[in-house]
Amino acid sequence: MFPNKDAVVFDGTTLSYADLARSIHTSISEEKNVTAKSFVFNRNPIETLCSVLASNALNRAVVVVPADYPEKNLEIEQEEPVPSGAFIGILTSGSSGKPKTVWKSNDNWELAFKHQSEIFGISKSEKLFVLDALSYSANLNAALHILWEGGTLVLGQLKKARRWKEMFEEAKVSSCFLVPSHCQLLLNNGIVNDNIKSLVTAGEKLSAKMAKELLERFPASKLTEYYGAAELGHITYHQNADIYNFPHSVGKPFPQVKVVVKDNKVTVSSPFVSSEYKENGTVDDLGYFDKGDRLVLKGRSGRMFNRRALNIYAQEIENIALTFDSVQKAVLVESEINKRLNLYFTTNSKALGNDEEELAAFLKQCLPKAKMPSFVKELEEIPHSETGKVDFRALSKMSGEGEILNIAS
């Protein structure tokens, strides 16, 4: 390791590996008398990284908390015990909305790093761009991976997306990890860069249209989409042309991962699965293998809706909508108001609402009547959380507002 090499770049501050080591030792001195698990609020990402690495050196678990995390939820978390060998606690809302912590051991992540380096094309020479929301497990994993590799971590801010192009040039960024909704910002801001060698995305399905455009804008890049979960680690992946040639798939298993589908339920066994999930190995995702042994997801069980004894999978409807030329993103939700299924979408059209009738007609051609959404509605933007994931609850509360095109009848 070269002590003078840049380790972390963030908002005008650059830390060398020697600087980072000193900051970690300072954190160790400040925290060595703390015996319980520690909570780190993700306000300054450099301080967050130092606290995480210091806690690891002290063999103590640490939970990275979003800056706006509700205090009442944190009180619940403080009561929860820490499993033996836990390193990182990942906060999630839980399937029922009740907060929970997913615990990862050091091995759960570090054992995957060598595979990530090989598959994603990440080496010690890379300068990896990751957003500063390190309470999101995939971002934190990417950040720790590049430091493990000995490369440079370039932390960006969502609120400064319009400056990413300048950041890429100033910091000589060579690799990126972004969820698809944040990849869309690269495209929206007109960023074209032939120096990016690796572009990795996860968190939600990458559309074929976006995959093609990303490869056009970043022609020297290896584009990788992987499917994973905080509870299960990396599961499957595919790359480049496979992403748009097999648009409904999420690829084949990650090394050391075994995926089994029984009665539509996806179960996983690997060294990367959290201890609490090793026995069951599932987060209730539903799917099947295509003829090429590629995994196709139907969605999570919570996004499977039963209508007149017929199972309707949200991702199936969304995938069909995405094949319509102008649709960029599509999300099917159940209304909290009337329990109807409503499809919200965004397009590349300039005039809002122009594509609603055309998409409705297209869906009627592609879907049986029993699977038709009750409404379609074009939005200027799909609501997302800070981590870039779709905010399904916000959409379900929107249902019934404004003029929405009824297509179920």
Residue-wise burial string across 317-348, b where 16 or more C-beta atoms lie within 10 A, e elsewhere: bbbbbbebeebbbbbbbbbeeeebbbbbbbbe
Residue in the block written with tokens 């960029």:
328
Rounded CA gap, 309 and 108, in Å?
A: 40
pLDDT at residue 152 in the model: 97
pLDDT the model gives residue 368 = 86
* Lookup result for tokens 């409904």: 248
- Tens-binned pLDDT, residue by residue, of the chain (409 aa): 689 999 999 999 999 999 999 999 988 887 666 666 678 887 899 999 998 998 888 888 888 888 777 666 666 566 677 888 888 888 876 544 556 788 999 889 999 999 999 999 999 999 999 999 998 999 999 999 999 999 999 999 999 999 999 999 999 999 999 999 999 999 988 898 989 999 999 998 999 999 999 999 999 999 999 999 999 999 999 999 999 999 999 999 999 999 999 998 999 999 999 998 999 999 999 999 998 899 999 888 778 887 766 778 888 898 899 889 889 889 998 888 888 889 999 987 766 667 888 899 999 998 888 889 988 999 988 888 777 788 888 888 885 554 455 565 5
- Match 């122009």 to its residue by tokens: 354
Contacts of 188 (CB under 8 A, 6+ apart): none
What value, to the nearest 5°, has the Cα angle with vertex 263 and ends 206 and 290? 45
Say what the pLDDT of residue 403 is. 45
- What three-state secondary structure class fits 217? helix
Q: 259, 273 in Cβ contact below 8 A?
A: no
Enumerate domains of the chain plus CATH numbers: 6-250 (3.40.50.12780), 308-406 (3.30.300.30)
Buried b (16+ CB within 10 A) or exposed e, 55-88: bbebebbbbbbbeebeeeeeeebeeeebeeebbb
Distance CA 245, CA 212 (A): 10
Neighbours of 366 (CB within 10 A): 14
Q: Which helix (H) or strand (E) holds 76?
A: helix 71-79
CA atoms of 394 and 339, how far apart (whole Å): 14
User: CA-to-CA distance for 189 and 408, rounded, in angstroms?
Assistant: 37
Backbone angle region of 369, left / alpha / beta, with phi > 0 → left and psi within -120 to 50 → alpha: alpha
119 phi and psi, to 5 degrees? Answer: -75, -45
pLDDT in tens, 136-183: 999 999 999 999 999 999 999 999 999 999 999 999 999 999 999 999
Which residue spans within 170-325 are E strands per DSSP? 175-177, 198-201, 222-229, 233-239, 252-253, 258-262, 265-269, 285-289, 295-300, 304-307, 310-313
Per the CB < 8 A criterion, the answer to whether 167 and 173 are in contact is yes
